Amino acid sequence: MDDFAHSELAPHWSTLRRPATPDWLSLTERPSHLRVRGGRSPQSVIGPSLVARRVTAARCSFEATMEYRPRGFQHLAGITACYNTRNWYYLYVTADDDGSAVVRRAARDRGRTTVDTTHQTALGDLARLHLGLDLDGPALRFRLDTGDGWQSFGPALDATVLSDEHAEEFDGDQIRSLGFTGAFVGLWVWDLNGHGHHSDFDRATYLTT
């Protein structure tokens, strides 16, 4: 469990193609919180705001406590289970068309992105919530706690999308993508306006079973 009480990011965390510098990450602006300023979308090869740790077991869970107030549909913050920019799952808070905050989930499988609007939760004025995911071999399940205890969020997803084998892609006899890094779970914040709208995390927990 990391309660972000130190002034430097713990060594088990990794960032994606971006050093952990104060222009987008801070452990001091709000003590005992990790402040993550929103970065570019996963379609961009530069500037993502992703802080993640490696998955070390076929059965594990990841939870985070987050405080976030999106100002528009281009602001997103939440937790992810990811392999690379072409293969990931994302449970996140964003703003609906009328500006109200909602929780949704999205997926990207070999470059094809889908957003599940069937399963979503309206938050009203609530800004602080708990997000969780469970990896159970070939299945991934998201869950959500808005103050009344954990509730499952949508049906199980195909966790093999996050495997080395699935990440390997070929175009004829040409290699398009190789799978060798393994999967990660972590915290992901987007600001597609480019203004760095931030989210605060005050706890993140990784458990293996």
pLDDT higher than threshold 70 for residue 175:
no
Extended strands (E) in 23-149: 25-26, 34-37, 49-54, 59-67, 75-84, 87-95, 101-109, 112-124, 128-136, 139-145
pLDDT higher than threshold 80 for residue 179:
no
pLDDT band at 28 (very low <50, low <70, confident <90, very high): very high
- pTM over 0.85? The answer is yes
